[in-house]
């Protein structure tokens, strides 16, 4: 395992603090655990080398394979909506760069993350292992199936958008759990929070967003 140097991790610390204050706190993200996690995790290490200087800007960044790393505010808002306390088993659909994975791993007991693109999965795993995360389990597969043999999950996070949240994933949410995902057409979506209580699912909309499409059996079909 290639450990990342303390210098690589600590660089940009001032930009991280500024990002948290100006992009998260000022827009209403209040969960102190989320804010502290985003102050710690070195977002620049998950960006392409040529874009590291933009890693703490208020915008998504391309990571290759027609995928992106979400803007910091979206990462913070989605993570806060999960309501993590530290004891949860979390399913993440769409590892991507691994940045959102790292934030959740800071706040939950264990993260099960699925990525359909091999290159992205391998690169994310390399970075996350270099940062010494020991509570992440990786899988390369069609994420719209979820991870049935590890279900139920206390929380589910979907980092790509489908027209509707796949029922296959909703079924894997445990009692009292929350699922956070974008849903809508390919140009514009709503950020949705589903909560399971007494076996019933309630739905809340948090606002507009735009994500890459969720490709797979129960999402958009790859062309």
Please, what sign has the CA dihedral across residues 141, 157, 57, 98?
A: negative
Contact indicator for 115, 137 with CB cutoff of 8 Å: no
Among 50, 47, 45, 41, smallest CA distance to 59 is for 47
Q: Could you say which of 5, 11, 39, 70 is catalytic?
A: 70
SS percent in the chain: helix, strand, coil, step 5 = 35, 30, 35
Please name the residues in contact with 197: beta carbons below 8 A apart, sequence gap of 6 or more. Answer: 175, 176
Contact indicator for 180, 196 with CB cutoff of 8 Å: no
Annotated catalytic residue 202: no
Residue 198, both tokens? 């007494």
Looking at the annotation, which residues are catalytic? 70
């Amino acid at each position: 395992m290639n450990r990342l140097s303390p210098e690589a991790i600590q660089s940009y610390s001032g930009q991280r603090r500024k990002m948290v204050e100006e992009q998260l706190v000022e827009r209403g993200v209040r969960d102190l655990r989320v804010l502290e996690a985003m102050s710690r995790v070195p977002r620049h290490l998950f960006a392409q080398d040529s874009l590291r200087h933009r890693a703490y800007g208020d915008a998504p960044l391309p990571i290759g394979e027609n995928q992106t790393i979400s803007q910091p505010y979206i990462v913070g808002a989605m993570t806060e909506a999960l309501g993590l306390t530290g004891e949860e088993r979390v399913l993440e659909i769409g590892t991507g760069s691994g940045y959102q994975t790292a934030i959740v791993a800071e706040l939950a007991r264990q993260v099960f993350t699925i990525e359909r693109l091999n290159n992205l999965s391998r690169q994310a795993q390399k970075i996350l292992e270099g940062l010494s995360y020991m509570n992440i389990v990786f899988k390369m597969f069609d994420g719209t199936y979820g991870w049935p043999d590890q279900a139920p999950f206390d929380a589910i996070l979907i980092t790509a958008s489908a027209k509707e949240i796949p029922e296959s994933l909703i079924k894997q949410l445990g009692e009292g759990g929350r699922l956070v995902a974008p849903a809508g057409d390919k140009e514009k979506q709503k950020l949705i929070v589903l909560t399971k209580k007494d076996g019933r699912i309630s739905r809340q909309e948090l606002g507009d967003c735009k994500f890459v499409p969720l490709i797979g059996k129960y999402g958009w079909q790859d062309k």
